[in-house]
Amino acid sequence: MDIRPNHTIYINNINDKVKKEELKRSLYALFSQFGQIVEIVAMKTMKMRGQAFVVFKELAAATNALRQLQGFPFYNKPMVGPVPAGPGPPSTASPR
């Protein structure tokens, strides 16, 4: 499967028992080693639980993180996450 480069990484198969703030901190700690993170979106709604979006400032950082962490064990479950085909995460940031 050929995935186009994207600043946003979509992650699913996340353990949905982890609290939202702990999840965001853990994702930041894990993904920030690859580059500057602009935003992490993780929601606990029925539709979105077990999923998150990590948005990087640099395209190369996002690409490298996706390659390195595909299948990485995260809270006892392997992370999976090709870049979504849609427009990206539902933004929680205020407009600039």
pTM score: 0.78
Beta bridge partners of 40: 54
- Cβ distance 92 to 39 under 8 Å? yes
Residue with tokens 């700690």: 29
pLDDT at 3: 61
Domains of the chain, first to last? 8-78 (3.30.70.330)
- Cβ distance 72 to 79 under 8 Å? yes
pLDDT at 48: 85
Residue with tokens 């703030």: 21
Q: Which residues of the chain have pLDDT under 50?
A: 1, 84-87, 93-96
Own/partner contacts of 23-31, CB < 8 Å, gap of 24 or more, are 23/52, 24/52, 26/74, 26/75, 27/52, 27/54, 30/69, 30/72, 30/74, 31/56, 31/65, 31/69
Q: What is the pLDDT of residues 66-85, one digit of tens each?
A: 889 988 999 988 887 665 44
